[in-house]
Each structure stands twice: as C-alpha cells, then as structure tokens.
Chain A
Amino acid sequence: MFTRLSGQVVKRPLKQWVNAFMQARGVSGTAGAPQSNTKAIAATAAVATTAAAGLGYYFYANPIHANMEEEGLHPPAYPWSHRSLFGTFDHASIRRGYQVYREVCSACHSLDRIAWRNLVDVSHTEDEVRAMAEEFEYKDGPNEIGDYFERPGKLSDYMPRPYPNDEAARAGNGGALPPDLSLMVKARHGGCDYIFALLTGYVDPPAGVEIREGLNYNPYFPGGSIAMARLLYDGLVEYDDGTPATTSQMAKDVTTFLAWAAEPEHDDRKKMGVKAIIILSAMTILSIWIKRNRFASLKSRKFLYAPPK
C-alpha cells in the first residue's frame, strides 16, 4: 500500500513540472489544468531566484581567494624518484643528502630520531658510519667511580644535537627555534615538494611587503617571513661521487635524505605492500570463483510445491 501511495505522490508533481516546461516552451500541454501550470512556473521562478540570491550572498560573504600569503604558496609536484607506487628511495641521493645535512643543516637543526646505525647499509657502509660517529664526543657514565665522561660516538648513539636544549637553540637563532628534522617531511603539508620548494624558493620580497630585521622572505613559508636564511648556494658542498653541487641538486638530495629519515621503512613497506596486493587480489578472485561455484547448484535450483492429493 505504501509503495502505491508514494508512487502517486511522486508522479503527480512530476507531471506538473513536465507540463509547465512544455508550456513554457510553447508546446501545448497534453493534460492538466492551466491554473496549476502557472502556479508551477511561479514556484520555479521563486525557488530559482531565492537560490541565486542565496548563492550570490554566500559568495559575497565568503569570497573565494587563494590566500597565498598566510598559507604559503603551494609547492609544485616534483618527480621524486620515490614518488611512484613501486619506487624505492634513490640511495645515492640519500648519501649526498646526508652530506648536505651534516655540512649545512646540522649547524642548527637536530635529527633526534636517527641513530648512526640507521645509516648502515642505507647510505654508508658500516666502517664509514663507525668512522663518522667517532668524530663526535658523547657524554656517558657513570663509570665505576661514579664520574661522567666523554667518549667517541658509537653506532648505537643518536645524531648529536647542535644545541644542548631548545632554549639554547632559540637564543642562538634570534628567538626562532630550528625544528628537529627527523619527521619534517611527514610534518609539513606537501612533504618533499614543500621542503624542496622552500629551500630553493628564497626571493626578494615583493613591493609593499615589509620583512622584519633578521627574517627572510620565502613565498612557500606560511606567512612569508622565515627566520632561516637561504643557505644553499651553488658549490657549497663537494660531493664525493662527482655530482655537481648546484642549489637544486643539494636541495633535492637533502630532501630525499629527510624523506628517508622520516620513513626509514619506506622501501620495505612498498615492497611488502606490492606483494600483499598481489596475493590478496589472487585470493579475492579465487574466493569469488569458489562462491560462484558453490552457489551454482543452489541458484539454479527450483522448488515446486506439490500439494497433497
């Protein structure tokens, strides 16, 4: 009963709408009183006008604009070697990026979550990492007489921090805290693209934009004024594999390094993911086939009631 009722309710206005439309186009309606047609047209006009006015007011009150000053310029999408679904990191780039981090970034930025051992068989051999770690002194202790002492770094030590604490870091950088870079690629909108765009995006401020003393203009940084100055200039580091150290090359390498630091599991994760997808799709297809196989006899079955005679 309900379906019949609702069918009538839906059908009637539809007929009216169609008639109104036909009449408006000069086609004579087949049925329906002309009185209800005029009403329908008036109602349509009223609804359309209200909607247009409402929409107009909404866009007047909430103008759409790209607020590039407050939110920062959107970075372009760069063709990272690890961006594809099946792509691992470019490990030669991670190695160069570590060099850039060590020689440039590590003067201010810590990398707390990466230990020396993490670099082994990722960008450096074990002997290389041992040698690099030993160049730094770590505080250790207490020894058997209760004293703290300095010792050279080991594989299990984490990356040394440039400042003993955040307050010292602020004091050394004009009040601005250089953030820890361990998870920076994950922590910023745009990830790798943003960091590369930021590192290579320093320009002179446009006319009318005031930049405070000690700050720098960068359109990709939200707000536009960033405490970090441009640091990467052509030829700043010398790569041991002979790659020309241009600004964009160094920015690309250090961004790849930071992407690895944020996701050290990245390569294995993608490989496992591909394997899992292959196996699971095969299982899905198999289970669908088995279901159809088992249901074939049930679905093609017909029950007949033979009343007792």
Chain B
Amino acid sequence: MDARNNGLEKFSRSVYRTIFRRNSVFMVGIFATAFAFEMAFDTATDRWWDRMNKDKQWKDIKDRYSQ
C-alpha cells in the first residue's frame, strides 16, 4: 500500500464499509441526506430571500393590521 495515500485509503475504506457495502444503508443514507440537504438549502435561501425583500412581503407588514 502506498504510504502517501494511507490516510485517504483508510478513510475511503471506512466510508465503503459503513455506507456503500449494504444497499439498505446506502438507500437510507441517500434519503436522509436528501431531507437534510433540502432543509438546510431551503432555510438558507429563504433567509437570503427575506433579507433581499425586507419590508416588502406580507409577513413584514402584517403586524400593522392584526391586533
């Protein structure tokens, strides 16, 4: 084994063992990552969107009209 790639080799072997070896784990991993990514992506883009459109959207002005 090449000494230079030892760390990387170890890492990829462990990734393979924990995630890719069993298809069930792989599939669950895909779905879990998709959920996590979508939540994180939506949160981030929504926050940016709301900052871009500050004081223009209904949620920014509705406090003036509801008691």
Contacts and interface: CB of A to CB of B under 8 A. Distances in A.
A274 B45 contact: yes
Interface of A: 81, 86-92, 95, 121-125, 127-128, 241, 267, 271, 274-275, 278-279
A88 B45 contact: no
A121 B58 contact: yes
A271 B52 CA distance: 11
Contact of B65 (A90, A128, A267, A274): A128
Chain B interface size, under 10 / 10 to 19 / 20 to 34 / 35 or more: 10 to 19
A91 B42 CA distance: 22
A279 B53 CA distance: 21
Contacts of A127: 66
- Name the prevailing secondary structure of the B interface residues: helix
Contacts of A91: 56-58, 60-61
Interface of B: 41-42, 45-46, 49, 52-53, 55-58, 60-62, 64-66
A95 B46 CA distance: 23
Contact of A125 (B42, B55, B57, B66): B66
A263 to B, nearest CB: 15
A86 B52 CA distance: 7
Given A91-B60, A92-B61, A271-B49, 11 more contacts: A86-B52, A86-B53, A88-B53, A88-B56, A88-B57, A89-B56, A90-B56, A121-B58, A124-B65, A241-B64, A278-B41
B57 A275 contact: no
A307 to B, nearest CB: 38
A86 B53 CA distance: 8
Contacts of A89: 56
Among B41, B55, B57, B60, chain A packs the most CB atoms within 10 A around the CB of B57
B66 A267 contact: no
B49 A86 contact: yes
